[in-house]
């Protein structure tokens, strides 16, 4: 980690979950947010400002990117999320897109 690191979190998922994609770890022009739920499951939201595209990475989903989009004011992702995770995702989306 360099001196400019603001936040860092190690994956708590097993090796079977695979490696966290570089997309979720590096790059400028991206808004990132981290969440760990009450079960220790980790989620990372990445919004690419240049592309206007967001993905959600979930350790229990093998860190595969899940596209996030807004449809008629509702934040959609092809995963089942609990209420707190959905609220967190909605705040991430609103914060990331407010900066564009």
Decide if 91 is inside a domain.
yes
With 0-12 / 13-18 / 19 or more C-beta atoms within 10 angstroms meaning exposed / middle / buried, residue 66 is middle
Decide if 46 is inside a domain.
yes
Decide if 30 is inside a domain.
yes
Tokens 């596209």 belong to: 67
Decide if 7 is inside a domain.
no
Query: What pTM was estimated for this model as a whole?
Result: 0.78
For 24, the domain range is 15-98
Number of domains in the chain: 1
pLDDT in tens, 61-73: 888 999 999 999 9
pLDDT in tens, 22-46: 555 566 778 889 999 999 899 999 9
């Amino acid at each position: 980690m360099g001196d400019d690191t603001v936040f860092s979190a190690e994956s708590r998922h097993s090796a079977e979950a695979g490696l966290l994609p570089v997309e979720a770890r590096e790059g400028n022009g991206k808004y990132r947010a981290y969440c760990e739920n009450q079960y220790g499951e980790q989620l990372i939201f990445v919004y690419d400002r240049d592309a206007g595209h967001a993905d959600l990475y979930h350790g229990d989903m093998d860190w595969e990117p899940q596209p996030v989009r807004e449809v008629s004011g509702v934040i959609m992702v092809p995963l089942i999320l609990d209420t707190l995770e959905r609220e967190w995702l909605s705040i991430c989306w609103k914060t990331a897109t407010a900066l564009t």
